[in-house]
């Protein structure tokens, strides 16, 4: 039978990849499509009369079965099948079983081939959908996802991802101005004047060994009355922080904020210097944002001014997130803002109570530690203290924890409902005290201990002694490699059910009025973080960020390359979907991490199912590899 032309055209607009066709192409194919009403009595005639072809479910429900009767996928409205045979030329071997009578649209092979030739986007969609998985491109130009056990399902689309952000190497305005470390201070000042730059990159044998800035000349040379003929290696900043040419400007901004620096060397993968990024470059590229926002926070003189300046952050972040539409960038920026406010509050406390009486580290845990904060993240922080402190020193740090956590709350970063904050004595410990706690968790992994481990193993140094933190983090990593502990952690993760029910349908996770909603943080993003953390613990990694962990795990024998890539792609999709949802419900009482799948587009629903299926597959892998241990 011939479907209604106007109704079919509207349907195709909501059926990827037909929505990527232009109006003329879509009208043409609407005139070619046939429709068949399928029930249990005539289902076998579909493949017999129309094969090979592309089939589109208009209504009803159907099970696609493998030759051995195993369920491949339950097909519902807008789902596609049959195209693997069109792409490969192989005969159709699968079977179709009717769950609910309905209508199936049929695109003949010749018409399918015509559209492939006429539309590159249309062809690309089906090629990607047919692949098991594909490599993630660092530029975000391609971000599709395909679960290996569902060869008939469409892949995650690049339409869900933002355009690539500017890279550090692209922003550098001029080639590096370099001198060797044995050049004199006078030669450096002359070179800076001649080149009209405010810094010099110090390079020996093609390797960056330091930088010298105009501030160094003022503070370390002129103010100290040094001889201008001494070598610059005596006054330069040694082993400076650097940024890779292929890293984003948001990464550069975060690093400059964390290190409180105004000049950031940009280097190639082999360490060869390219040029220097400055605050001026960042302000120009970001149109004075978000550099100006962080600069404004850094310039405030007291706690009240900081709170007042922080009041602008929510509206700014909403605007920034909507404009950039990049969940990773938003997470890193939010972490940078929280870091900046934390450091300022520490400064204010020291101004009133004197400098810290012993070595310490202000720790960021959880989402701030991973730098994937969202618009609704709360505090997760703690204090790492040097050993053998007296009571007066402990009291000083107790006051610091209380002052900073209260200040962050006033700045709009909510207190942690679970009291994972430096104001809590349990989260304010000496190095020996923290290691004792981690050891008790790993040796006696109770459910509560395992819950804490999901938070505390993701940590980052926001302010304090770098050596103290590194030694602590390496000791923690050793404790986390216990087979007994990893086995219990794996079983905990495997017991969390992904919200896909019978026949691959969404299963609501929220109780009450939102019972059909799905929490994509708890049952998606957090599970990926947990899975990746487990592999990272096994490998002894100290890096907290999920995507960076996956990059470091590329050579891991337990996590194969395809699963590694799939987890990264699923994490990117889910975090992006959550950001879009949070922007949509901004200022309302609706859940910030849960959404109604029925309100998503057809493509988004397919992608969400694919992402959850990947999480479920990797959960099973974790259970097989670690769950039997311990």
- Second CATH level (architecture) for the domain 483-626: Up-down Bundle (1.20)
257: pLDDT strictly greater than 80:
no
The predicted structure's pLDDT at residue 174: 81
Judged by DSSP in three states, 554 sits in: helix
Contacts for 7 with CB less than 8 Å, ≥ 6 apart: none
Which residue, among 487, 526, 524, has the nearest Cα to 623 in the 3D structure? 487
Q: Where are the domains of the chain?
A: 5-130, 172-286, 287-473, 483-626
pLDDT value, residue 130? 62
The percentage of the chain sitting over the pLDDT mark of 70, rounded to a whole number, equals 90
The CATH class given to the 287-473 domain equals: alpha beta
Classify 313 as helix, strand or coil.
helix
pLDDT of residue 140: 29
Among 82-96, 104-118, 400-414, 516-530, which stretch is predicted with the lowest mean pLDDT?
82-96
Using alpha carbons, select from 19, 86, 100 the residue that is nearest to residue 50: 86
pTM summary value: 0.70
Which pLDDT band, with edges at 50, 70 and 90, does 175 fall under? confident
Tell whether the model's pLDDT for residue 328 goes beyond 90: no
- Over its C-alpha atoms, the chain yields an Rg (Å, rounded) of 28
pLDDT beyond 50 at 423: yes
Whether 172-286 shares its CATH topology with 287-473 is answered no
- As its CATH architecture, domain 5-130 has Sandwich (2.60)
Span 371-418, pLDDT tens digits: 999 878 999 999 999 999 999 999 999 999 999 999 999 999 999 999
Phi, psi of 423 (to 5 degrees): -75, -15
- Averaged over 542-550, what is the pLDDT? 93
Beta sheet of 95-100, edge-to-edge order: 71-75, 61-65, 95-100
Distances (CA, A) of 155 to 70, 437, 560, 602: 21, 44, 20, 12
pLDDT more than 90, % of the chain: 51
Report pLDDT for 176: 85
Task: Tell the CATH topology of 172-286.
Answer: CBS-domain (3.10.580)
Of residues 312 and 284, the one with the higher pLDDT is: 312
Q: Is the pLDDT of residue 292 over 80?
A: no
- Say whether pLDDT at 63 is over 50: yes
Rounded CA separation 363/460 (Å) = 6
- Grade residue 154 by pLDDT with cuts at 50, 70 and 90: very low
């Amino acid at each position: 039978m011939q479907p209604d032309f106007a109704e079919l055209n509207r349907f195709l607009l909501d059926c990827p990849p037909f929505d990527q066709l232009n109006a003329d192409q879509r009208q043409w194919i609407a005139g070619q499509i046939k429709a068949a009403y399928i029930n249990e009595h005539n289902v076998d005639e579909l493949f017999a009369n129309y094969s090979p072809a592309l089939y589109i479910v208009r209504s009803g429900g159907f099970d696609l079965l493998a030759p051995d009767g195993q369920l491949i996928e339950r097909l519902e409205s807008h789902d596609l099948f049959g195209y693997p045979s069109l792409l490969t030329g192989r005969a159709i071997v699968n079977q179709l079983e009717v769950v609910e009578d309905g209508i199936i649209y049929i695109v003949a092979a010749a018409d399918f081939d015509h559209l492939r030739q006429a539309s590159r986007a249309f062809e690309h969609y089906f090629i990607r959908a047919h692949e098991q998985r594909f490599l993630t491109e660092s530029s975000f130009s391609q971000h599709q996802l395909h679960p290996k056990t569902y060869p008939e399902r469409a892949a995650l689309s690049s339409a869900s991802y933002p355009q690539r952000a500017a890279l550090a190497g692209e922003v550098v305005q001029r080639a590096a101005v370099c001198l060797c470390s044995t050049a004199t201070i006078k030669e450096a000042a002359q070179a800076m004047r001649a080149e009209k730059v405010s810094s010099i990159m110090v390079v020996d044998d093609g390797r960056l060994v330091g930088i010298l800035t105009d501030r160094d000349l003022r503070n370390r040379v002129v103010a100290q009355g040094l001889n201008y003929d001494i070598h610059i290696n005596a006054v330069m900043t040694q082993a400076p922080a650097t940024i890779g040419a292929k890293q984003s400007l948001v990464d550069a901004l975060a690093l400059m904020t964390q290190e409180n620096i105004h000049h950031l060397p940009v280097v190639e993968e082999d360490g060869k210097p390219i040029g220097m990024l400055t605050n001026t470059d960042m302000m120009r590229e970001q149109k004075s944002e978000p550099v100006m926002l962080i600069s404004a926070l850094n310039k405030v003189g007291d706690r009240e001014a900081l709170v007042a300046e922080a009041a602008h952050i929510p509206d700014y972040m909403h605007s920034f997130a909507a404009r950039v539409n990049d969940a990773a960038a938003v997470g890193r920026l939010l972490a940078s803002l929280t870091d900046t406010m934390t450091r300022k509050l520490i400064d204010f406390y020291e101004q009133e109570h004197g400098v810290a009486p012993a070595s310490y580290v202000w720790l960021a845990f959880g989402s701030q530690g991973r730098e994937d904060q969202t618009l609704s993240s709360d505090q997760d922080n703690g204090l790492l203290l040097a050993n053998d402190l007296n009571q007066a020193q402990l009291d000083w740090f107790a006051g610091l924890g209380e002052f900073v956590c209260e200040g962050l709350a006033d700045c709009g970063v909510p207190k942690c409902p679970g009291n994972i904050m430096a104001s809590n004595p349990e989260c304010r410990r000496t190095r020996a005290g923290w290691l004792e706690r981690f050891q008790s968790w790993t040796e006696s992994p109770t459910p509560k201990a395992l819950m804490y481990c999901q938070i505390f193993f993701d940590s980052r140094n926001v302010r304090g002694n770098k050596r103290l933190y590194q030694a602590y983090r390496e000791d923690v990593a050793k404790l986390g490699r216990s087979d007994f502990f990893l086995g219990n952690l794996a079983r905990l993760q495997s017991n969390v059910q992904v919200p896909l029910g019978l026949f691959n349908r969404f299963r609501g996770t929220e109780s009450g009025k939102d019972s059909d909603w799905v929490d994509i943080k708890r049952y998606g993003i957090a599970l990926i973080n947990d899975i990746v953390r487990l592999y990272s613990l096994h490998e002894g990694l100290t890096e907290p960020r999920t995507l960076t962990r996956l990059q470091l795990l590329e050579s891991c024998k337990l996590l194969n390359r395809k699963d590694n890539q799939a987890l990264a792609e699923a994490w990117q999709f889910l975090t992006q979907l959550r950001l879009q949802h949070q922007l949509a419900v901004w200022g309302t009482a609706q859940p910030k991490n849960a959404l109604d799948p029925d309100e998503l587009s057809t493509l988004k629903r397919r992608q969400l199912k694919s992402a959850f299926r990947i999480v479920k597959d990797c959960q099973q892998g974790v259970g097989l590899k670690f769950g039997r241990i311990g």
